[in-house]
Each structure stands twice: as C-alpha cells, then as structure tokens.
Amino acid sequence: MFQSASSPSKRARLSRAAAVCAFLALAGCAGFPFAAAQPEASATEPHAVAEGPGAPEMFRLSNGMDVVVIPDHRAPVVTHMVWYRVGAADETPGKTGLAHFLEHLMFKGTDKIAPGQFSKTVARNGGQDNAFTSYDFTAYYQAIARDRLPLVMEMEADRMTHLKLSDKDVLPERDVVIEELRMRIENEPIAELQSKMNAALYGESPYGRDVIGVKSEVEKLGTEDALDFYRRFYTPNNAILIVAGDVTASELKPLAEKYYGAVAPRAPTFERHRAAVVWPAEPKRVVMHDARVNEPSWIRAYPAPSSAGAGTARSAALDVLAEILGGGTTSRLYRALVVRDGKATAVQAWYNGDQLGAGSFGVYALPRVGGGIGDTEKAVDAELAAFLASEIDADELKRAKSQLVASAIYARDAQRTMAYSYGSGLTTGLTARQVYEWPDHIRAVTAADVMAAAREVLDARHAVTGELLPEAKP
C-alpha cells in the first residue's frame, strides 16, 4: 500500500491532528536544494543514541546497512522492519509509481519462497506483515514472536537480492495497482482534491503528484522497469534494519550479520539531492464539485519547512502551534468556530514535517449543515488574524505541550509506532537521537517560539485553499 491515513507517522505520537495530516498528505519539497542527512556514527559495535529508558541502540554492518534496536521487554514479541531510502519522489520522470509498484512485486517470490508464500509463512507462524510506500521511503515489516525473528530475517534478506519477476507475475499485479489507484484516488473525492491541491502547491516537484503515480504512466510500467529500480535501490547500503521488542542489540547483532551482513552491495549508496521548488507566488484555490459529496469541506495548506529543514526547535514550535490552533475541543479554532459561533461542526490544524525536503501546515473545517463554505472560510481567517494579534496564555501553552508530550510517551507502548517513528525520521533527515528526545524539544517550546512559527507559516499569500462541494445544480 502507499502511505495513507492508516499509516502511523511521527506526528501520530505528537498530535491528535495526525490522522487528518496523514490523510491529506499535503507535504512538499523545500525551496532550496536538499541532501539527506546521514544517520548517526557508522560504528560497527552497538552504541546507545541517547541516555534514558527505551533509548535505541545503533550499529552498522560491514556492507553499509544501518541497524536500530528499540528495546521493549514486556512481551516476547518483536516488530521487524526493513526501510529503503527510496520513495515516490526518487522515481525517474515518466515512470511514476515504480516505488509503490515494486512494493507489490516484492511479494512475488524467490527461488526459496514461492509467489504469495511470504505472507502465508508469516501468518502460519502467528505473525502479521505488510509494506508501505511514501515519497521518501519504502518499508516492509513483520510483527512476530521473538523466537521466529530469525525466520523473518532470513526471508527478508532473501528477497532483498533474489527477487524473481516475469511478465506473468508483473503484468497482472500492474492491473491490481491500477485498480488501487481507482479505489483510493478516483473513487475518493477528498483524495482527488488532495491531488489537485498538491499539484497547485508543489508544481513540478515530485511531491506534487500522488505516491501511487500518474495513471497513464503506471499503465506502461513493465518487468524491466521494476527490475532496474530493484537492482539500483534495493541494496543493503541503502537500507535500515529496525527491530523493536524483546531483543537487545548484542543479541540482534550476530543475527543481522548472519542474514543481512552476507548480502553484498550491488549498487552505489544512493545520495538524494532534491531540486529547488518555488512556492506559489500568489494564493491559489482549487474548487471541486462531486455528486458523491453531501456536505462541503474546506481545507487550506500553507508552505512550511520539514522537521529536518526547520531544526528541532522550530519544528517543535510548529507542532505546538497546530495543537493550540486545532488540536482538539479546547483549541482556539474549535472553541471559536464550533462552540461559540456555530460556523463549523469540525475543525483541525496540523503540521506535517515528515518529508525529506519540506512539509506543510494545514487547517481543515467542516461547515455546519446548511451553512455556507464562504462564511466558514471568513471565520477561520478572522480567528487566525486574531491569533496573530494576540498573546498565548500560559495555561494554554502548558496544556498543548502536555498533550503532545503525553502522546509521544504513550506511543512508546506500541512497537510498530516506535519502529515507524525511527524509520520515517532516519529516512527524512532526522537522527535517532532527535526522534528519541522529541518530548524534550516540545517541553522547551516557549510562547515566543510559537508566535514566531505562526508568523512564518500562516501567510495566505502563498497558500492553496481547497473546496470540496456537492455537485453544482443547474
């Protein structure tokens, strides 16, 4: 699958607005060339990236594969993930959709594993598995009992280098992907609006198209396209192994060396450089009418820096800003538009910095039944203007930060969420230490930091506003 609302994200452990943020996925490249940061020190021996409970350990195999171990000894289970530093934004022009297409094809088998047997083997051993693709990464995971860890490591290492593909496997799967595109994009009005808004916000940037690709280009993808992509990017020196659960780094290291360390690099390490992107020079509006829509929706996306590009202090301030504006029923926008004025039935704000080059800041409002979308937009703009002219109350700031810190701490109870947090962070320019210490960065945010972040991103002169409306009547 390509990354959607069901996919966890770093924001998911920091903000309750993450579901909307991931669903709309309004993120893009920065307005400057960007090269991905390298992971922490390339030490071959395990070393802790920070001090404190649950702090991960890292080491690097001799073939260049990075390894992250996140301890969680409450139950004899593990979550095993392999992340590749390649996604939809790294595809060759004219061949969009390859990253996601190859994700599907990775389940087609090797000499050791027959087509379709990978997931069945995991299930027979009491586990679960899946995969996901985003703009900057592709990842595969299995959640399974600790004593079955060697099994999934052996299978994952096998398909890293021995995938077998032929037209009889590839072409039917291409039809599956095209049907997924219809189901997730063409049959979902909000997803269609997202596509059009992304294109308006990011123009020619890879972030301006859907992860699943352009339909006319996906229809032309073939076996050699997939194999070329596989041979170039699916190499251990372009991968990160992340294991969360009942295992230590010293226990995992010999297993990692046995299964993954034996895989020789077959391509140079991929160095990602993203071209400069010009944000909209003037405000843009995307209006979409659809017969499947009963009630209108209003969305606005503002250009914003990524977490890595902003730095931890600014990125944390943007998270707090989103929480104060639209993080829940006590937020500024909710109290004003829903409770006080009755202009909307729902409202949220979010910051999405989980991209390699840049992110976005968004606001969403659902007008009250029978209400006009124009009135809702005016109300949102009025409240944002009032916010920029006001001061943040100390209790308001404390409440927002407490909610975000609590979300980050509670997320450590979920192995898959934690493994995802480190994987998405490391593939989009963050370090493991920054991911682990995120609650501390949130605690350090001041009211002045939040207001500075607000003045930086809440600039409607470069934003894209979207309206999803019922079908226009004659």
Q: Strands 284-290 and 464-470: what pairing?
A: parallel
pTM equals 0.90
Residue ranges, the chain, pLDDT below 50: 4-39, 41
Name the nearest CA neighbour of 269 among 429, 69, 63, 98. Answer: 63
Tell the burial category of 192 from Cβ atoms under 10 Å away from its Cβ (0-12, 13-18, 19+): middle
Residue ranges of E strands in 189-319 = 239-245, 273-274, 284-290, 297-305
DSSP 61: -
Catalytic residue among 57, 103, 156, 467: 103
How far is the CA of 327 from the CAs of 37, 225, 298, in angstroms? 30, 43, 17
* Number of CB atoms found within 10 A of residue 127's CB: 22
pLDDT in tens, 346-355: 999 999 999 8
CA distance 395 to 384: 19
pLDDT in tens, 401-433: 999 999 998 888 899 999 999 999 999 999 999
The CATH class of the 284-470 domain is alpha beta
What is the crossing angle of helices 394-410 and 447-457, to 10°?
80
DSSP code per residue over 138-200: EEEEEEEEGGGHHHHHHHHHHHHH-----HHHHHHHHHHHHHHHIIIIIT-HHHHHHHHHHHH
Cβ density class 371-388: b for 16+ within 10 Å, e for less: bebeebbebbeebbeebe
* Number of CB atoms found within 10 A of residue 52's CB: 9
* pLDDT in the model for residue 472: 73
* pLDDT in the model for residue 40: 57
Q: How many CA atoms lie within 13 A of 53 on its CB side?
A: 5
Strand partners, 47: 58
Three-state secondary structure call for residue 350? strand
Residue 179 falls in the annotated catalytic set: no
Sequence-ordered list of residues with C-beta below 8 angstroms from that of 50, at least 6 positions apart, any chain: 56, 432, 433, 436, 437
CA distance 101 to 115: 16
* pLDDT in the model for residue 2: 57
CB distance 284 to 303 below 8 Å? no
CA distance 366 to 376: 8
Strand partners, 241: 67, 82
Strand partners, 138: 84, 133
Phi, psi of 112 (to 5 degrees): -90, -30
Three-state secondary structure call for residue 275? coil
CA distance 64 to 51: 25
The CATH architecture annotation of domain 37-270 reads 2-Layer Sandwich (3.30)
* pLDDT in the model for residue 1: 61
**DSSP run (H or E) holding 238:** none
CA distance 234 to 143: 22
Three-state secondary structure call for residue 67? strand
CA distance 386 to 389: 5
> Per-domain residue ranges for the chain?
37-270, 284-470
CA distance 228 to 158: 18
How far is the CA of 192 from the CAs of 134, 286, 289, in angstroms? 17, 11, 11
Name the nearest CA neighbour of 12 among 401, 242, 400, 350. Answer: 350
Instruction: Tell me whether domains 37-270 and 284-470 share a fold.
Output: yes
CA distance 12 to 18: 5
Q: Strands 66-71 and 239-245: what pairing?
A: parallel
CB distance 425 to 58 below 8 Å? no
